[in-house]
Structure 1
Amino acid sequence: MTDTIEARGLTKRYGDRLAVDELTFTIQPGRVTGFLGPNGAGKSTTMRLVLGLDAPTSGTVTVHGRPYAELLHPLHTVGALLDARAVHPGRTAAHHLLALAQTAGIGRARVDEVLGLVGLSDVAGKRAGTFSLGMSQRLGIAGALLGDPPVLMFDEPVNGLDPEGIRWIRGLMRELAAEGRTVLVSSHLMSEMALTAQHLLVLGRGQLIADTGIDDFLRLHSEETVLVRTDETDRMARLLRRTGATFELRDDALLVLDRTAADLGRLAAAEGIALSELTPSRGSLEDVFMALTHDSVEYGVRA
């Protein structure tokens, strides 16, 4: 049995509000899955359903083939960070983790180990209530790692982290996935998800919009453009017009909208035009995400 998170027809209503609508997906080990969606899309609700903190109205969600409540050793199976501030402010970082560890038969040595992994060894004796949001995030991540679980879930883990901390957690997520773990990470930072995730789950108004690799997501939902630079810009522009290509002038370059880089290279070579740059690109993850979820935004700015 693999360490997957599986949802089948997962639905959750709060009164008249449909928060999660017939979600079916499988989150696989060995990769970082980015969990994306506008505010109110249902990401946090879905995570709470996975962890048994809320009960589904209908459908099922399992971890390692079982509902969370039926796991024999939950802390050793799933590690989660949903709210970095959900810590008793009077406890020290070490005592907070030790209290968690003792519920699962985990020794003090592991507490010291995870404090070192997240960079909190020097403040292990400080009260959690004095921590910045970034330090609280690190403590929450330490708690998630405490049982060395094969499945990990993080809700907005980069909030409050400085650039060094963001780079650190990016590397950590990648390392955990490379070890064969199942890693689910939600975030509103599209630029960070583009650097961290290999797979995407995208929600809009509780429904699944996309479940695909990040490269496929960009390829399916954005057009490729090619930036062309040459010392013979005018001549290249005339050639593009003659062949019916669509392009825009960008300072000293040409942005071609409907030809591949290979096509343009062959075209220029046939005419003896030397190119100094031929760069294909697609829309950013942020651009594609915003376009795809435009109609799913719960709170938007009206023009």
Structure 2
Amino acid sequence: MSDTIEATGLTKRYGDRLAVDGLTFTVEPGRVTGFLGPNGAGKSTTMRLVLGLDAPTAGTVTVCGRRYPDLPRPLHTVGALLDAHAVHPGRTAVSHLLALAQTAGLGRGRVEEVLGLVGLANVAGRRVGTFSLGMAQRLGIAGALLGDPPVLMFDEPVNGLDPEGIRWVRTFMRGLAAEGRTVLVSSHLMSEMALTAHHLLVIGRGRLIADTGIDEFLREHGDEAVLVRAGEQDRLARVLRRTGAELSAHDDGLLVRGLTAGDVGKLAAGEGIALEELSARRRSLEDVFMALTGDAVEYGVEYGVGA
């Protein structure tokens, strides 16, 4: 049985609102799959459908070849963190995990093991209500790991964390994938996904926009440009425009599309124009994401894209 998450024509409608619209994808083991989309795109709804918390209006989704309600030992098959705050604040970390463990026939030893894995062993007896957001996220990850499942799902695990916490989550997720697990991570932090994910699923308004490796995604959509600065910038601009290159202002220089850095350097040298800077640039994952999903946001504002 393959340790995958597979959706086919997955659709969810709430009254007149179509939250998930015919999604078909496979999340493979051995890599971190970033699940990206604007707020309201359907990421959390899709995860709830995977975990059987909502029933699809149409289509199917399976984990390791079975619907979640049909899994004989679900905690041993898929672990999930959807809401780090979904813990009674009066419980201690260890008592919260013990309650989860008992539903799956696991003992205190496994609870202590996962607390150690996420760095919470020294605060196991503290009440969760006193935890910082980062500690709460770690506790949620510990809960997902209890049954040592091959499939793991995390909804916005770095939301609100400080840089140290974000780095820890990134390293931990990639370590889980390196063990051969299937790891699905939703996020709206594009800079972090660029460092964490091996593969991307991008959705907007519930529809699949991209299903590809992150390197392929950037190669396909992240057009290259050249940043150039020169003392005779106006003259250089005229020379470059004669070639048909596309120019735009960038800081105090020019961003050139349609020519390589070598091309720009040769043209400048041929005209005797001294360059102060010449560097190749590629659009970031965030730039590409905004370009692809700009028409798929749920709410817009006058001077940009809304939350």
Using structure 2 for the length normalisation, give the TM-score.
0.89
Residue 210 (structure 1) aligned with residue 213 (structure 2) = no
Which is further off, 234-243 or 97-106? 234-243
1: CA distance, partners of 2:13 / 2:139: 32
Q: Secondary structure at the match of 2:105?
A: coil
Which is further off, 261-270 or 15-24? 261-270
User: Could you tell me which amino acid in structure 1 is paired with residue 167 of structure 2?
Assistant: R
Q: Secondary structure at the match of 2:154?
A: strand
2: CA distance, partners of 1:251 / 1:159: 31
Q: How many residues align?
A: 303
1: CA distance, partners of 2:115 / 2:130: 17
Cα separation, partners in 2 of 1:225 and 1:90, compared to 1, 3 Å: same
How big is the alpha-carbon RMSD for the aligned residues of Structure 1 and Structure 2? Answer: 2.4
Cα separation, partners in 2 of 1:30 and 1:261, compared to 1, 3 Å: farther
- Aligned position for 1:110: 110
The Cα offsets for residues 90-117 of structure 1, whole Å up to 9 and x where unpaired, read as: 2210111111112222222221121112
- Aligned position for 1:44: 44
- Aligned position for 2:2: 2
Cα distance, 1:164 vs. partner? 0.7
Q: Secondary structure at the match of 1:293?
A: helix
Listed as ranges, the gaps of 5+ residues in structure 1 are: none
2: CA distance, partners of 1:267 / 1:71: 65
**Correspondences of 1:196-207 after superposition (within 5 Å):** 196-207=196-207
- Aligned position for 1:293: 293
The Cα offsets for residues 43-85 of structure 1, whole Å up to 9 and x where unpaired, read as: 1110001001111111100011111111122111111000111
Cα separation, partners in 2 of 1:48 and 1:275, compared to 1, 3 Å: same
- Aligned position for 2:62: 62
Q: Secondary structure at the match of 1:286?
A: helix
The Cα offsets for residues 12-41 of structure 1, whole Å up to 9 and x where unpaired, read as: 111222111111001111111111112211
Which is further off, 238-247 or 60-69? 238-247
The Cα offsets for residues 147-187 of structure 1, whole Å up to 9 and x where unpaired, read as: 11111100011123221111100111111111111111111
- Aligned position for 1:130: 130
2: CA distance, partners of 1:302 / 1:272: 45
Residue 13 (structure 1) aligned with residue 13 (structure 2) = yes
Q: Secondary structure at the match of 1:85?
A: coil
Percent of pairs identical after alignment? 80
2: CA distance, partners of 1:51 / 1:259: 49
Cα separation, partners in 2 of 1:40 and 1:237, compared to 1, 3 Å: closer
Cα separation, partners in 2 of 1:56 and 1:250, compared to 1, 3 Å: closer
2: CA distance, partners of 1:142 / 1:35: 21
The Cα offsets for residues 227-248 of structure 1, whole Å up to 9 and x where unpaired, read as: 2467887886565345443335
2: CA distance, partners of 1:56 / 1:251: 49
Listed as ranges, the gaps of 5+ residues in structure 2 are: none
